[in-house]
C-alpha cells in the first residue's frame, strides 16, 4: 500500500481536569510549585496525521476560529517540528486538528493536542522513542504536555514536570462548563495572593463517584479566587453547576475559566448540560465521564 493510500492516524486529545490544585510554593524564577490530581475526560479534541511530503496543519471544529496566529505558533505544529528534529528527519505530515474544546480554558486543550500529535506522529512515522525522551520534548512545549502524554490519572508536582501515577479513579459522570471567556494562565498566577497550601495526596482508590467527591471536598483549587477576580462569571458557573440536580461537587479546573461538576448518574449529567446550554447560550457545556 502506498503512503498516499494510507488511512490517517487518529488520536484523541482529551480534556485535562485538575480535580484539585494546591499551590505549594514559588521558585526564585517566578514559577509556582503545584500539587494536583489530574484526570482526563471523554470530552476532547481530535488529531489526525496523514502521510505527506511536507508539514501542513488545518483546523476545524467549533473552536478552530479561536486559534489565533500562523500555524507555526500552534503547539501542534511545534510538536511535529520538535519530534522530527529529535528523530533527525523532515517533519513530513498532513495534520488535521478538530477543535471541540474552548481555547485558553484551563482544561489543557493545547497541551493535550500537542501530546496527541506526538503520539500520532510516532505511529505514522513508525518510531518508538523512549518515554523519557518523549516527555522531555513535551516539557519543552509546555508544562502540561508530559501528563497529557501519560493520559491517565496522575499526581502533578513541581511546575508540572513531576508526574506520578494516581490511584485508579471511577468513570464518574461529569459536566464541563465554560462561560465563553478565554483566561490566560500567567494572568491568573499573577493575580493570586495569600498563603501557600500543603500537598494533600491520598492513597486509597475511591470506589465510586461519591467517594471521589468526598475526597475532593477536603481539597480545593487555590487559583479560583484569582480567576474570579479576572472573570467574575466563573463564580456564576460554579454556582449553577453546584445547584444542578445530582451534582456532588462543583469547582474550577486548572486556571479557569472552565469549571466541572461530578454527578451521581450519567442521565443527571446530560440533563444538567442540556439545561445550562439552554439557559446560557453564550456558555459552552458538555457532558461526559472521567476516563477510568
144 is catalytic: yes
Class of domain 3-165: alpha beta
218-233: average pLDDT: 98
Statement: the pTM of the whole predicted model exceeds 0.75: yes
Give residue-wise pLDDT tens across range 107-116.
999 999 999 9
At CA 268, angle to CA 267 and CA 273, rounded to 5?
A: 100
195-206: average pLDDT: 96
**From CA 238, how far away is CA 146, in angstroms rounded?**
28
Give residue-wise pLDDT tens across range 54-95.
999 999 999 998 886 677 789 999 999 999 999 999 999 999
Of 23 and 2, the structure prediction assigns the larger pLDDT to 23
Share of the chain above pLDDT 90, in %: 89
The backbone region for 47, taken as left when phi is positive above 0, alpha when psi lies in -120 to 50, beta otherwise, is beta
Residue ranges of the domains in the chain?
Answer: 3-165, 173-289
What is the band of 5 on the pLDDT scale with cuts at 50, 70, 90?
Answer: low
pLDDT of residue 159: 86
Alpha-helix runs per DSSP H in 206-265:
209-217, 224-230, 233-242
**What is residue 252's three-state secondary structure?**
strand
Which candidate in 16, 35, 45, 99 is catalytic?
A: 16
Give residue-wise pLDDT tens across range 129-138.
999 999 999 9
Of 182 and 244, the structure prediction assigns the larger pLDDT to 244
Cell digits of residue 147: 501528563
Which candidate in 12, 144, 222, 245 is catalytic?
A: 144
pLDDT of residue 1: 39
pLDDT of residue 4: 52
12 is catalytic: no
6-22: average pLDDT: 96
Share of the chain above pLDDT 70, in %: 98
185-196: average pLDDT: 95
Give residue-wise pLDDT tens across range 235-250.
999 999 999 999 999 9
**From CA 109, how far away is CA 152, in angstroms rounded?**
15
215-233: average pLDDT: 98
Q: Say if residue 2's pLDDT is above 50.
A: no
pLDDT of residue 266: 98
Which listed CATH number (3.40.50.2300, 3.30.70.890, 3.40.640.10, 3.10.20.740) goes with 173-289?
Answer: 3.30.70.890
pLDDT of residue 173: 98
Determine contact, residues 204/6, Cβ cutoff 8 Å. Answer: no
Q: Say if residue 143's pLDDT is above 90.
A: no
The whole-chain average pLDDT of the chain stands at 94
Amino acid at each position: 500500500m502506498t503512503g498516499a493510500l494510507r488511512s490517517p492516524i487518529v488520536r484523541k486529545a482529551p480534556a485535562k481536569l485538575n480535580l484539585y490544585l494546591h499551590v505549594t510554593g514559588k521558585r526564585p524564577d517566578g514559577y509556582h510549585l503545584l500539587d494536583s490530581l489530574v484526570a482526563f475526560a471523554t470530552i476532547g479534541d481530535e488529531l489526525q496525521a496523514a502521510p505527506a511530503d511536507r508539514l501542513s496543519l488545518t483546523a476545524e471544529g467549533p473552536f478552530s476560529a479561536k486559534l489565533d496566529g500562523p500555524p507555526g505558533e500552534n503547539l501542534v505544529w511545534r510538536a511535529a517540528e520538535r519530534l522530527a528534529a529529535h528523530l533527525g528527519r523532515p517533519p513530513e505530515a498532513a495534520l488535521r486538528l478538530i477543535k471541540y474544546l474552548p481555547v485558553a480554558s484551563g482544561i489543557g486543550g493545547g497541551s493535550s493536542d500537542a501530546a496527541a500529535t506526538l503520539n500520532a506522529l510516532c505511529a505514522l512515522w513508525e518510531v518508538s522513542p523512549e518515554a523519557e525522551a518523549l516527555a522531555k520534548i513535551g516539557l519543552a512545549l509546555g508544562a502540561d504536555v508530559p501528563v497529557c502524554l501519560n493520559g491517565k490519572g496522575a499526581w502533578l508536582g513541581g511546575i508540572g514536570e513531576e508526574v506520578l501515577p494516581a490511584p485508579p479513579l471511577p468513570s464518574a459522570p461529569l459536566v464541563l462548563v465554560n462561560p465563553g471567556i478565554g483566561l490566560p494562565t500567567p494572568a491568573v498566577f499573577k493575580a493570586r495572593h495569600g498563603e501557600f497550601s500543603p500537598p494533600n495526596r491520598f492513597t486509597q482508590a475511591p470506589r465510586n463517584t461519591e467517594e471521589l467527591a468526598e475526597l475532593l471536598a477536603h481539597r480545593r483549587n487555590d487559583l479560583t479566587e484569582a480567576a474570579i477576580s479576572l472573570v467574575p462569571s466563573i463564580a456564576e458557573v460554579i454556582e449553577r453547576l453546584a445547584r444542578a440536580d445530582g451534582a456532588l461537587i462543583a469547582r474550577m479546573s486548572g486556571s479557569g475559566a472552565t469549571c466541572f461538576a461530578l454527578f451521581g448518574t450519567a442521565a443527571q449529567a446530560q440533563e444538567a448540560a442540556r439545561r445550562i446550554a439552554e439557559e446560557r447560550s453564550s456558555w459552552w457545556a458538555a457532558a461526559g465521564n472521567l476516563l477510568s
